[in-house]
Amino acid sequence: MDLFWLIIFAISIFLISSLGRVKASKKQLSRNNRINWVHRSKKSESTKQNIIEGESHEVSEDGKK
């Protein structure tokens, strides 16, 4: 029974490693409406977009303005 699981494990590792080398086609890579994953991962630029202009008030711990 252990030999069976060893064979299943070896086949699955082989399949995962061979599928890991699959790459997108030129048509998929050169399209105009691709998601910009590099831009989405930058926190500094995303925080700049979330700033809303307005008035601010200091809040104390006892709830008075």
Are 10 and 4 spatial neighbours (Cβ–Cβ below 8 Å)? no
Q: Where are the alpha helices (H) located in 1-65, listed in sequence order? A: 2-19, 26-29, 37-41, 43-49
**8-58 pLDDT tens trace:** 999 999 998 888 777 888 888 888 888 777 765 555 554 556 667 778 778
Question: Rounded to two decimals, what is the model's pTM?
Answer: 0.35
Q: Which two tokens stand for residue 55?
A: 């008035």
Residue 14's pLDDT is 92
- Residue 17, CA atoms < 13 Å, CB-side half-sphere: 6
Q: Which residue in this structure is represented by tokens 């064979």?
A: 7
